[in-house]
Structure 1
Amino acid sequence: MTFPSVLPAPRAVLFDLDGTLADTAPDLAAAVNWMRTERGLEPTPYALLRPTASAGARGMIGAAFGLAPGDEGYEDLRVQWFERYQSAMAVHTTLFDGIADLLDGIVDAGMTWGIVTNKPARFTDPLVPQIGLARAGCVISGDTTPHAKPHPAPLLEAARRLELDPAHCWYVGDDLRDIEAGRAAGMITVACAWGYCGSIDPVTWGADYLLETPRDLLQLLRELADAARAAA
Protein backbone atom coordinates (compact mmCIF):
# COMPACT_ATOMS: atom_id res chain seq x y z
CA MET A 1 0.00 0.00 0.00
CA THR A 2 1.35 3.42 -0.95
CA PHE A 3 0.27 6.64 0.75
CA PRO A 4 0.55 10.24 -0.39
CA SER A 5 3.22 11.88 1.77
CA VAL A 6 1.32 15.11 2.16
CA LEU A 7 1.30 15.36 5.95
CA PRO A 8 4.26 15.86 8.29
CA ALA A 9 5.36 12.89 10.38
CA PRO A 10 4.00 13.13 13.94
CA ARG A 11 6.17 13.39 17.01
CA ALA A 12 3.73 11.20 18.96
CA VAL A 13 1.02 8.70 18.10
CA LEU A 14 -1.81 8.37 20.61
CA PHE A 15 -4.05 5.33 20.63
CA ASP A 16 -7.44 4.33 21.94
CA LEU A 17 -7.18 1.08 23.92
CA ASP A 18 -10.19 -1.19 23.43
CA GLY A 19 -10.53 -2.17 19.78
CA THR A 20 -7.42 -0.26 18.72
CA LEU A 21 -4.39 -1.56 20.60
CA ALA A 22 -6.02 -4.48 22.37
CA ASP A 23 -8.72 -7.00 21.52
CA THR A 24 -10.54 -6.77 24.85
CA ALA A 25 -13.93 -7.92 23.56
CA PRO A 26 -13.58 -11.56 24.67
CA ASP A 27 -13.23 -10.62 28.34
CA LEU A 28 -15.82 -7.84 28.14
CA ALA A 29 -18.30 -10.26 26.58
CA ALA A 30 -17.48 -13.02 29.06
CA ALA A 31 -18.36 -10.71 31.95
CA VAL A 32 -21.79 -9.81 30.60
CA ASN A 33 -22.58 -13.39 29.58
CA TRP A 34 -21.65 -14.57 33.07
CA MET A 35 -24.34 -12.18 34.30
CA ARG A 36 -26.87 -13.65 31.90
CA THR A 37 -26.00 -17.18 32.98
CA GLU A 38 -26.41 -16.18 36.62
CA ARG A 39 -29.95 -15.12 35.73
CA GLY A 40 -30.76 -18.36 33.93
CA LEU A 41 -30.48 -16.76 30.50
CA GLU A 42 -28.69 -18.04 27.42
CA PRO A 43 -25.43 -16.25 26.58
CA THR A 44 -25.71 -13.48 24.01
CA PRO A 45 -23.89 -14.51 20.82
CA TYR A 46 -20.38 -13.14 20.70
CA ALA A 47 -20.96 -11.84 17.18
CA LEU A 48 -23.57 -9.44 18.61
CA LEU A 49 -21.43 -8.32 21.54
CA ARG A 50 -18.10 -7.75 19.79
CA PRO A 51 -19.11 -4.66 17.72
CA THR A 52 -20.31 -2.92 20.91
CA ALA A 53 -17.09 -3.46 22.88
CA SER A 54 -15.73 0.07 22.40
CA ALA A 55 -18.87 1.44 24.06
CA GLY A 56 -18.03 -0.35 27.33
CA ALA A 57 -20.86 -0.98 29.79
CA ARG A 58 -23.34 0.94 27.66
CA GLY A 59 -22.61 -1.25 24.67
CA MET A 60 -22.41 -4.59 26.46
CA ILE A 61 -25.49 -4.15 28.65
CA GLY A 62 -27.42 -2.72 25.73
CA ALA A 63 -26.62 -5.74 23.56
CA ALA A 64 -27.05 -8.35 26.29
CA PHE A 65 -30.02 -6.96 28.24
CA GLY A 66 -31.61 -4.36 25.96
CA LEU A 67 -31.21 -1.60 28.55
CA ALA A 68 -29.71 1.86 28.18
CA PRO A 69 -28.46 4.41 30.75
CA GLY A 70 -31.46 5.79 32.59
CA ASP A 71 -33.53 2.63 32.20
CA GLU A 72 -34.72 0.85 35.33
CA GLY A 73 -32.21 -1.79 36.35
CA TYR A 74 -29.40 -0.49 34.14
CA GLU A 75 -27.29 0.94 36.95
CA ASP A 76 -27.35 -2.28 38.99
CA LEU A 77 -26.26 -4.23 35.92
CA ARG A 78 -23.50 -1.73 35.22
CA VAL A 79 -22.08 -2.02 38.73
CA GLN A 80 -22.17 -5.81 38.60
CA TRP A 81 -20.60 -5.88 35.14
CA PHE A 82 -17.77 -3.63 36.33
CA GLU A 83 -17.08 -5.93 39.28
CA ARG A 84 -17.15 -9.08 37.18
CA TYR A 85 -14.97 -7.62 34.44
CA GLN A 86 -12.43 -6.28 36.95
CA SER A 87 -11.99 -9.78 38.35
CA ALA A 88 -11.03 -11.24 34.95
CA MET A 89 -9.77 -8.51 32.61
CA ALA A 90 -6.82 -10.24 30.96
CA VAL A 91 -7.92 -13.85 30.55
CA HIS A 92 -8.40 -13.73 26.78
CA THR A 93 -7.40 -10.13 25.98
CA THR A 94 -4.47 -9.78 23.57
CA LEU A 95 -2.87 -7.10 21.46
CA PHE A 96 -4.11 -7.05 17.88
CA ASP A 97 -1.82 -8.72 15.37
CA GLY A 98 0.88 -6.29 14.31
CA ILE A 99 0.50 -3.88 17.24
CA ALA A 100 3.75 -4.91 18.96
CA ASP A 101 5.69 -4.32 15.73
CA LEU A 102 3.90 -1.01 15.21
CA LEU A 103 4.84 0.28 18.66
CA ASP A 104 8.45 -0.85 18.22
CA GLY A 105 8.54 0.88 14.84
CA ILE A 106 7.22 4.13 16.30
CA VAL A 107 10.00 4.15 18.89
CA ASP A 108 12.63 3.18 16.31
CA ALA A 109 11.53 6.15 14.19
CA GLY A 110 12.21 8.51 17.09
CA MET A 111 8.55 9.08 17.97
CA THR A 112 6.70 8.34 21.16
CA TRP A 113 3.29 6.78 21.76
CA GLY A 114 0.59 6.93 24.38
CA ILE A 115 -2.88 5.70 25.30
CA VAL A 116 -6.06 7.76 25.59
CA THR A 117 -9.09 5.67 26.49
CA ASN A 118 -12.53 6.16 27.97
CA LYS A 119 -11.94 3.08 30.12
CA PRO A 120 -11.90 4.11 33.81
CA ALA A 121 -8.51 4.06 35.54
CA ARG A 122 -9.62 1.23 37.85
CA PHE A 123 -9.41 -1.00 34.78
CA THR A 124 -6.77 0.77 32.67
CA ASP A 125 -4.07 0.96 35.33
CA PRO A 126 -3.89 -2.80 36.05
CA LEU A 127 -4.67 -3.92 32.49
CA VAL A 128 -2.06 -1.91 30.57
CA PRO A 129 1.01 -3.62 32.11
CA GLN A 130 -0.62 -7.06 31.97
CA ILE A 131 -0.96 -6.93 28.19
CA GLY A 132 2.46 -5.52 27.37
CA LEU A 133 1.76 -1.79 27.10
CA ALA A 134 3.71 -0.53 30.11
CA ARG A 135 6.10 1.44 27.87
CA ALA A 136 3.41 3.98 26.95
CA GLY A 137 4.63 7.55 27.22
CA CYS A 138 1.34 8.48 28.89
CA VAL A 139 -1.91 6.76 29.83
CA ILE A 140 -5.06 8.88 29.99
CA SER A 141 -8.16 7.10 31.27
CA GLY A 142 -11.81 8.03 30.99
CA ASP A 143 -11.78 9.66 34.41
CA THR A 144 -8.35 11.34 34.22
CA THR A 145 -9.93 14.62 33.07
CA PRO A 146 -13.38 16.06 33.82
CA HIS A 147 -14.52 15.09 30.32
CA ALA A 148 -14.25 11.87 28.33
CA LYS A 149 -14.12 11.50 24.54
CA PRO A 150 -15.53 12.84 22.25
CA HIS A 151 -14.47 15.89 24.26
CA PRO A 152 -10.88 16.83 23.35
CA ALA A 153 -9.77 17.25 26.99
CA PRO A 154 -8.21 13.77 27.37
CA LEU A 155 -6.20 14.17 24.17
CA LEU A 156 -5.05 17.64 25.14
CA GLU A 157 -3.96 16.27 28.52
CA ALA A 158 -1.96 13.54 26.76
CA ALA A 159 -0.18 16.13 24.63
CA ARG A 160 0.53 18.22 27.73
CA ARG A 161 2.09 15.27 29.54
CA LEU A 162 4.23 14.49 26.50
CA GLU A 163 5.19 18.18 26.32
CA LEU A 164 4.05 18.39 22.71
CA ASP A 165 1.83 20.69 20.72
CA PRO A 166 -1.37 18.76 19.91
CA ALA A 167 -0.74 19.52 16.23
CA HIS A 168 2.33 17.27 16.45
CA CYS A 169 0.26 14.31 17.63
CA TRP A 170 -1.88 11.80 15.78
CA TYR A 171 -4.82 9.96 17.31
CA VAL A 172 -5.81 6.43 16.29
CA GLY A 173 -9.18 4.92 17.21
CA ASP A 174 -11.93 2.54 16.21
CA ASP A 175 -14.96 4.63 17.12
CA LEU A 176 -16.52 7.80 15.71
CA ARG A 177 -16.02 9.60 19.02
CA ASP A 178 -12.27 8.95 18.74
CA ILE A 179 -12.15 10.79 15.44
CA GLU A 180 -14.36 13.58 16.79
CA ALA A 181 -12.10 13.99 19.82
CA GLY A 182 -8.93 13.96 17.77
CA ARG A 183 -10.27 16.50 15.30
CA ALA A 184 -11.44 18.78 18.14
CA ALA A 185 -7.98 18.58 19.70
CA GLY A 186 -6.35 19.65 16.43
CA MET A 187 -4.71 16.29 15.75
CA ILE A 188 -4.43 14.20 12.61
CA THR A 189 -6.86 11.30 13.00
CA VAL A 190 -6.62 7.67 11.93
CA ALA A 191 -9.63 5.33 11.88
CA CYS A 192 -8.53 1.73 12.34
CA ALA A 193 -10.67 -0.73 10.40
CA TRP A 194 -9.12 -3.61 12.35
CA GLY A 195 -11.08 -2.56 15.43
CA TYR A 196 -14.72 -2.91 16.48
CA CYS A 197 -16.01 0.21 14.67
CA GLY A 198 -19.61 -0.15 15.93
CA SER A 199 -22.63 0.38 13.71
CA ILE A 200 -21.46 3.49 11.84
CA ASP A 201 -19.32 2.92 8.75
CA PRO A 202 -15.85 4.39 9.45
CA VAL A 203 -15.76 5.66 5.87
CA THR A 204 -18.22 8.33 7.04
CA TRP A 205 -16.24 9.46 10.12
CA GLY A 206 -14.12 12.05 8.35
CA ALA A 207 -10.78 10.69 9.57
CA ASP A 208 -7.62 11.83 7.82
CA TYR A 209 -6.75 8.19 7.22
CA LEU A 210 -8.73 4.93 7.27
CA LEU A 211 -6.32 2.00 7.56
CA GLU A 212 -6.95 -1.74 7.45
CA THR A 213 -4.09 -3.05 9.63
CA PRO A 214 -1.49 -1.87 12.14
CA ARG A 215 1.15 -2.66 9.51
CA ASP A 216 -0.47 -0.11 7.18
CA LEU A 217 -0.06 2.54 9.86
CA LEU A 218 3.57 1.58 10.41
CA GLN A 219 4.24 1.81 6.68
CA LEU A 220 2.59 5.22 6.51
CA LEU A 221 4.61 6.55 9.44
CA ARG A 222 7.84 5.26 7.94
CA GLU A 223 7.08 6.89 4.59
CA LEU A 224 6.36 10.23 6.23
CA ALA A 225 9.49 10.00 8.37
CA ASP A 226 11.59 9.16 5.31
CA ALA A 227 10.08 12.09 3.42
CA ALA A 228 10.85 14.43 6.32
CA ARG A 229 14.49 13.28 6.44
CA ALA A 230 14.84 13.67 2.68
CA ALA A 231 13.50 17.23 2.85
CA ALA A 232 15.76 18.24 5.73
Structure 2
Amino acid sequence: MTAARKERGFPCVVLFDLDGTLLDSAPDMLATVDAMRAARGRGPMAMETLRPVVSKGARAMTAAAFPDIPAEERNQWIPEFLEIYERELGKHGTLFDGIDAMLHALEAAGSAWGIVTNKPEYLARQLMPMLGWETRCAILIGGDTLAERKPHPLPLLHAAQVLGVTPDDCVYVGDDERDIMAARAAEMRSVVALWGYRLHEDDPMAWQGDVLVETPHALCDAHAWPER
Protein backbone atom coordinates (compact mmCIF):
# COMPACT_ATOMS: atom_id res chain seq x y z
CA MET A 1 0.00 0.00 0.00
CA THR A 2 2.78 2.41 0.95
CA ALA A 3 4.84 1.53 -2.12
CA ALA A 4 1.84 2.12 -4.37
CA ARG A 5 1.31 5.58 -2.92
CA LYS A 6 4.96 6.43 -3.58
CA GLU A 7 4.38 5.67 -7.26
CA ARG A 8 1.52 8.16 -7.44
CA GLY A 9 2.04 11.82 -8.16
CA PHE A 10 1.37 14.58 -10.63
CA PRO A 11 2.19 13.35 -14.15
CA CYS A 12 4.92 14.91 -16.24
CA VAL A 13 2.28 15.87 -18.84
CA VAL A 14 -1.50 15.92 -18.59
CA LEU A 15 -3.61 16.06 -21.75
CA PHE A 16 -7.25 17.02 -21.43
CA ASP A 17 -10.39 16.72 -23.46
CA LEU A 18 -12.06 20.15 -23.63
CA ASP A 19 -15.88 20.09 -23.69
CA GLY A 20 -17.26 18.27 -20.67
CA THR A 21 -13.84 17.94 -19.07
CA LEU A 22 -12.32 21.40 -18.68
CA LEU A 23 -15.16 23.53 -19.99
CA ASP A 24 -18.89 23.35 -19.33
CA SER A 25 -19.75 24.46 -22.86
CA ALA A 26 -23.31 23.09 -22.79
CA PRO A 27 -24.81 26.61 -22.38
CA ASP A 28 -23.04 27.77 -25.57
CA MET A 29 -24.28 24.67 -27.37
CA LEU A 30 -27.82 25.26 -26.11
CA ALA A 31 -27.78 28.83 -27.44
CA THR A 32 -26.65 27.42 -30.79
CA VAL A 33 -29.35 24.79 -31.19
CA ASP A 34 -32.00 27.19 -29.86
CA ALA A 35 -31.07 29.65 -32.62
CA MET A 36 -31.39 26.86 -35.17
CA ARG A 37 -34.74 25.80 -33.73
CA ALA A 38 -36.04 29.39 -33.69
CA ALA A 39 -35.12 29.76 -37.36
CA ARG A 40 -37.36 26.77 -38.04
CA GLY A 41 -40.26 27.99 -35.94
CA ARG A 42 -39.54 25.83 -32.90
CA GLY A 43 -39.26 26.74 -29.24
CA PRO A 44 -36.21 26.44 -26.98
CA MET A 45 -34.72 23.06 -26.13
CA ALA A 46 -34.43 21.79 -22.57
CA MET A 47 -30.86 21.79 -21.25
CA GLU A 48 -31.36 18.36 -19.66
CA THR A 49 -32.07 16.93 -23.13
CA LEU A 50 -29.00 18.43 -24.78
CA ARG A 51 -26.44 18.19 -22.01
CA PRO A 52 -25.83 14.40 -22.10
CA VAL A 53 -24.85 14.48 -25.79
CA VAL A 54 -22.58 17.54 -25.86
CA SER A 55 -19.41 15.42 -25.82
CA LYS A 56 -20.73 13.38 -28.74
CA GLY A 57 -20.33 16.29 -31.18
CA ALA A 58 -22.39 18.47 -33.51
CA ARG A 59 -24.21 15.62 -35.23
CA ALA A 60 -25.39 14.18 -31.93
CA MET A 61 -26.52 17.59 -30.72
CA THR A 62 -28.48 18.36 -33.89
CA ALA A 63 -30.03 14.89 -33.64
CA ALA A 64 -31.14 15.64 -30.08
CA ALA A 65 -32.50 19.03 -31.15
CA PHE A 66 -34.30 17.71 -34.24
CA PRO A 67 -35.08 14.03 -33.62
CA ASP A 68 -37.88 14.06 -36.21
CA ILE A 69 -35.62 15.16 -39.07
CA PRO A 70 -33.84 12.46 -41.13
CA ALA A 71 -30.11 12.23 -40.43
CA GLU A 72 -29.23 12.96 -44.06
CA GLU A 73 -30.98 16.32 -43.86
CA ARG A 74 -29.70 17.16 -40.38
CA ASN A 75 -26.12 16.47 -41.37
CA GLN A 76 -26.38 19.17 -44.02
CA TRP A 77 -26.99 21.64 -41.18
CA ILE A 78 -23.60 21.07 -39.53
CA PRO A 79 -21.98 24.12 -41.23
CA GLU A 80 -24.89 26.22 -39.92
CA PHE A 81 -24.40 24.77 -36.44
CA LEU A 82 -20.68 25.64 -36.51
CA GLU A 83 -21.31 29.15 -37.83
CA ILE A 84 -23.82 29.93 -35.07
CA TYR A 85 -21.69 28.24 -32.43
CA GLU A 86 -18.71 30.40 -33.38
CA ARG A 87 -20.85 33.47 -32.60
CA GLU A 88 -21.91 32.02 -29.24
CA LEU A 89 -18.47 30.69 -28.37
CA GLY A 90 -17.46 31.49 -24.81
CA LYS A 91 -20.48 33.70 -24.12
CA HIS A 92 -22.41 31.36 -21.84
CA GLY A 93 -20.16 28.47 -20.80
CA THR A 94 -17.81 28.40 -17.81
CA LEU A 95 -15.00 26.27 -16.45
CA PHE A 96 -16.17 23.43 -14.26
CA ASP A 97 -15.75 24.22 -10.59
CA GLY A 98 -12.25 23.28 -9.49
CA ILE A 99 -10.59 23.30 -12.93
CA ASP A 100 -8.61 26.48 -12.33
CA ALA A 101 -7.32 25.21 -8.98
CA MET A 102 -6.37 21.88 -10.55
CA LEU A 103 -4.44 23.54 -13.38
CA HIS A 104 -2.59 25.75 -10.92
CA ALA A 105 -1.73 22.66 -8.85
CA LEU A 106 -0.29 20.96 -11.93
CA GLU A 107 1.73 24.03 -12.88
CA ALA A 108 3.03 24.43 -9.32
CA ALA A 109 4.22 20.81 -9.46
CA GLY A 110 6.07 21.48 -12.73
CA SER A 111 3.66 19.50 -14.89
CA ALA A 112 2.85 20.63 -18.41
CA TRP A 113 -0.71 20.40 -19.68
CA GLY A 114 -2.40 20.55 -23.05
CA ILE A 115 -5.67 19.89 -24.83
CA VAL A 116 -6.63 17.16 -27.29
CA THR A 117 -10.22 17.67 -28.41
CA ASN A 118 -12.47 16.59 -31.25
CA LYS A 119 -13.72 20.19 -31.53
CA PRO A 120 -12.45 21.85 -34.75
CA GLU A 121 -9.10 23.43 -33.99
CA TYR A 122 -10.10 26.93 -35.16
CA LEU A 123 -12.92 26.98 -32.59
CA ALA A 124 -10.85 25.55 -29.74
CA ARG A 125 -8.06 28.01 -30.47
CA GLN A 126 -10.45 30.97 -30.20
CA LEU A 127 -11.29 29.90 -26.65
CA MET A 128 -7.68 30.04 -25.42
CA PRO A 129 -7.41 33.84 -24.95
CA MET A 130 -10.97 33.96 -23.59
CA LEU A 131 -9.88 31.55 -20.85
CA GLY A 132 -6.43 33.08 -20.35
CA TRP A 133 -4.79 29.88 -21.54
CA GLU A 134 -2.97 31.05 -24.67
CA THR A 135 0.42 30.87 -22.93
CA ARG A 136 -0.41 28.21 -20.33
CA CYS A 137 -1.64 25.43 -22.64
CA ALA A 138 1.43 23.60 -23.93
CA ILE A 139 -0.28 22.08 -26.96
CA LEU A 140 -3.70 22.21 -28.60
CA ILE A 141 -4.87 19.56 -31.04
CA GLY A 142 -8.34 19.71 -32.56
CA GLY A 143 -10.46 17.12 -34.27
CA ASP A 144 -9.31 18.33 -37.70
CA THR A 145 -5.64 19.01 -36.87
CA LEU A 146 -4.48 15.56 -37.98
CA ALA A 147 -5.68 12.82 -40.31
CA GLU A 148 -7.35 11.01 -37.39
CA ARG A 149 -9.34 12.05 -34.34
CA LYS A 150 -10.33 10.31 -31.11
CA PRO A 151 -10.91 7.44 -30.47
CA HIS A 152 -7.88 6.95 -32.75
CA PRO A 153 -4.68 7.27 -30.70
CA LEU A 154 -2.87 9.50 -33.24
CA PRO A 155 -3.77 12.86 -31.62
CA LEU A 156 -2.52 11.70 -28.21
CA LEU A 157 0.65 10.15 -29.64
CA HIS A 158 1.32 13.28 -31.71
CA ALA A 159 0.89 15.51 -28.65
CA ALA A 160 3.39 13.44 -26.67
CA GLN A 161 5.86 13.51 -29.56
CA VAL A 162 5.63 17.30 -29.99
CA LEU A 163 6.13 17.80 -26.25
CA GLY A 164 9.16 15.49 -26.29
CA VAL A 165 7.78 12.89 -23.90
CA THR A 166 6.69 9.27 -24.11
CA PRO A 167 3.07 8.13 -23.72
CA ASP A 168 4.08 6.68 -20.36
CA ASP A 169 4.95 10.20 -19.20
CA CYS A 170 1.38 11.36 -19.93
CA VAL A 171 -2.10 11.02 -18.51
CA TYR A 172 -5.20 11.75 -20.56
CA VAL A 173 -8.34 13.10 -18.85
CA GLY A 174 -11.74 12.89 -20.54
CA ASP A 175 -15.47 12.47 -19.91
CA ASP A 176 -16.38 10.33 -22.93
CA GLU A 177 -15.69 6.70 -23.78
CA ARG A 178 -13.85 7.80 -26.93
CA ASP A 179 -11.34 9.60 -24.71
CA ILE A 180 -10.53 6.49 -22.73
CA MET A 181 -10.41 4.33 -25.87
CA ALA A 182 -7.88 6.73 -27.39
CA ALA A 183 -5.76 6.68 -24.23
CA ARG A 184 -5.76 2.89 -24.07
CA ALA A 185 -4.81 2.63 -27.75
CA ALA A 186 -1.98 5.11 -27.18
CA GLU A 187 -0.84 3.12 -24.09
CA MET A 188 -1.37 6.26 -22.04
CA ARG A 189 -2.81 6.28 -18.52
CA SER A 190 -6.28 7.79 -18.23
CA VAL A 191 -8.65 9.55 -15.86
CA VAL A 192 -12.43 9.31 -16.34
CA ALA A 193 -13.92 12.73 -15.57
CA LEU A 194 -17.22 11.78 -13.95
CA TRP A 195 -18.31 15.42 -13.72
CA GLY A 196 -18.74 15.65 -17.51
CA TYR A 197 -21.43 14.79 -20.05
CA ARG A 198 -22.80 11.25 -20.22
CA LEU A 199 -25.82 9.46 -21.57
CA HIS A 200 -27.97 7.76 -18.94
CA GLU A 201 -27.01 4.34 -20.30
CA ASP A 202 -23.26 5.02 -20.28
CA ASP A 203 -21.25 2.91 -17.85
CA PRO A 204 -17.92 4.64 -17.12
CA MET A 205 -16.74 1.62 -15.14
CA ALA A 206 -16.80 -0.39 -18.37
CA TRP A 207 -14.50 2.06 -20.16
CA GLN A 208 -11.47 0.65 -18.33
CA GLY A 209 -9.95 3.98 -17.37
CA ASP A 210 -7.16 3.84 -14.80
CA VAL A 211 -9.02 5.98 -12.27
CA LEU A 212 -12.48 7.51 -12.07
CA VAL A 213 -12.68 10.94 -10.44
CA GLU A 214 -15.82 12.69 -9.20
CA THR A 215 -14.65 16.31 -9.21
CA PRO A 216 -11.76 18.43 -10.58
CA HIS A 217 -10.93 19.40 -6.99
CA ALA A 218 -9.87 15.81 -6.32
CA LEU A 219 -7.09 16.15 -8.90
CA CYS A 220 -5.45 18.90 -6.85
CA ASP A 221 -4.12 15.98 -4.78
CA ALA A 222 -1.08 14.31 -6.34
CA HIS A 223 -2.21 10.95 -4.98
CA ALA A 224 -5.46 11.05 -6.99
CA TRP A 225 -3.61 10.53 -10.27
CA PRO A 226 -3.02 7.05 -11.77
CA GLU A 227 -0.07 5.04 -10.58
CA ARG A 228 2.95 4.95 -12.80
TM-score normalised by structure 2 residue count:
0.91
Does structure 2 conserve the Cα–Cα contact (< 8 Å) formed by 1:12 and 1:168?
A: yes
2:128 is the alignment partner of 1:122: no
The DSSP-based 3-state class of the residue aligned with 1:186 is coil
Match of 2:153 in 1: 152
Give 1:76 deviation, angstroms.
2.5
Tell me the distance in 2 between the aligned counterparts of 1:71 and 1:146. 24
Listed one character per residue, the Cα deviations across residues 197-222 of structure 1 (whole Å, up to 9, x for unaligned) are: 23412122111000001111221x25
In the alignment, is residue 139 of structure 1 matched against residue 140 of structure 2? yes
Q: Which amino acid aligns with 1:25?
A: A
Q: Give the % identical residues.
A: 45
Which residue is 2:203 aligned to?
Answer: 201
- 1:50 alignment partner, SS class: helix
Instruction: Give me the whole-angstrom Cα distance separating, in 1, the residues matched to 2:219 and 2:158.
Output: 23
SS in 1 for 2:172: strand
SS of the residue corresponding to residue 172 of structure 1 reads strand
Q: Does 1:23 align with 2:24?
A: yes
Please state if 1:48 is matched with 2:69.
no
Give the whole-Å Cα distance in 2 for the aligned partners of 1:152 and 1:66. Answer: 31
CA distance in 1, matches of 2:54, 2:225: 32
Map residues 22-171 of structure 1 onto 2, 5 A cutoff. 22-66=23-67, 71-134=71-134, 135-171=136-172
In 1, are the aligned partners of 2:151 and 2:178 still within 8 Å (CA)? yes
Shift of the 183–224 alpha-carbon distance from structure 1 to 2, 3 Å rule, reads closer
d(CA) in 1 for partners of 2:153, 2:225: 25
Counterpart of 1:14 in 2: which secondary structure? strand
The size of the alignment, in residue pairs, is: 222
Rounded Cα–Cα distance in structure 1 between residues aligned with 2:130 and 2:181: 29
1:216 equivalenced with 2:218 (yes/no):
yes
8 Å contact kept, 1:16–1:174: yes
1:25-61: CA deviations, max 9, x gaps? 1001110111101111122211000111111212210
TM-score relative to the length of structure 1: 0.89
Q: For structure 1, which runs of at least 5 residues remain unmatched after alignment?
A: none
Retained in 2: the 8 A contact 1:109–1:222? no
One-letter amino acid of the structure 1 residue matched with residue 90 of structure 2: A
**Contact 1:179/1:191 (8 A) holds in 2:** yes
